Copies of this chain bind each other. A is one copy, B any other.
Amino acid sequence: MVQSGGSVTLSDVAREAGVSVATASRALNGSSRTVRPDLSARVAAAARRLDYAPNAQAQAMARGATTMVGLIVHDIADPYFSAIAAGVSRAADDAGLLVMLSNTLGRPEQELRYLKALRAQRGRAAILVGSQRTDRDHSAAVSSEVAAFEHAGGRVVAISQARLPVDTIVIENAAGAGALARKLAEMGHSRFGVLAGPSDLLTARDRHRGFQRGAVDAGCAPPIAVHGAFTRDGGHSAMAQLLDSGCQIDCVFAVNDVMAVGAIAACRDRGLQLPKDLAIAGFDDIATLRDITPSLTTVRLPLTELGKQAMELVTAPPGTAPKRSRVKGTVVIRDSTPAHR
């Protein structure tokens, strides 16, 4: 049972079972051809006895297809991405696929690198999660690498903006933020501030613009915007800056929940009473953040579900033109934005 060096191979199993490798192969993987039950049983027994595990590389090479999908995210430690990753992972499991995780840390060149690595792996598909950048050159570079990947027979789907020529789950950031702005205006808020995130991230930009448009449409003054990193600390310092500016505002929209949390902390640091002195809203509805105080008004995105949908697109037969499905967030009003006046 114990082998000397490397691994047990199919021919070891075949020899042990007294059949040919072809028969062993057919018995173990269930090919189109059928194998006599007794032989099949003998092979299975031999495989078990030897603790045989097929060499996936060899199978991939012989079959010309792997069972691997790549998941490319900005930062797996960010709950936005880890929630999506959980959905992808679960769905992959159900489909019998393996997930290769790649963290780009937001660096464009990493994205290209991973895409190429995935092509080298002959991955069956790649799921690109996260905001595109305003930089068109970068989008073009990704498009080109994506084309190469697809040319090699892989499928690609993106979760973000409809900027790549691939199946995409488009998140309607502008619409969601707009709906939030209108709702807040309706609740009596009128002087808005926006913690706008990095100006080169489409997601941040769209949410900012959508909110701005919604506010203006509702008859409010254009919100005062402060940019900053798309993180807790980014929200903290943007909020501090906004507070320092001395502008009169009654409600702040952070372009994601994580920033909103930083903003809340910044307000506390200044001794502000929330939500009495200032209303704050976020975007995403991160599960881990649902218990902060005051509970956060936000735009809910079905993150885990998005991951699942992405896997479905990836396993579906490829169409001729890129499919686009749209996901609109739903506004969730909580304690952080009480009715005003």
Contacts and interface: CB of A to CB of B under 8 A. Distances in A.
Contacts of A286: 288
Interface residues of A, number: 61
Given A291-B262, A291-B264, A77 B82 contact: yes
Contact of A103 (B2, B53, B93, B268): B93
A56 B101 contact: no
A7 interface: yes
A99 B258 CA distance: 26
Contacts of A262: 291
Contacts of A58: 57, 61
Contacts of A86: 75-77, 103
Interface string A99-124: 11111010000100000110111100
6 contacts: A7-B119, A71-B101, A76-B86, A82-B85, A89-B102, A264-B291
Interface of A: 2-3, 6-7, 51, 53-58, 60-61, 64, 66, 68, 71, 75-77, 79, 82-83, 85-86, 89-90, 93, 98-103, 105, 110, 116-117, 119-122, 148, 151-153, 232, 258, 261-262, 264-265, 268, 286-289, 291-293, 304
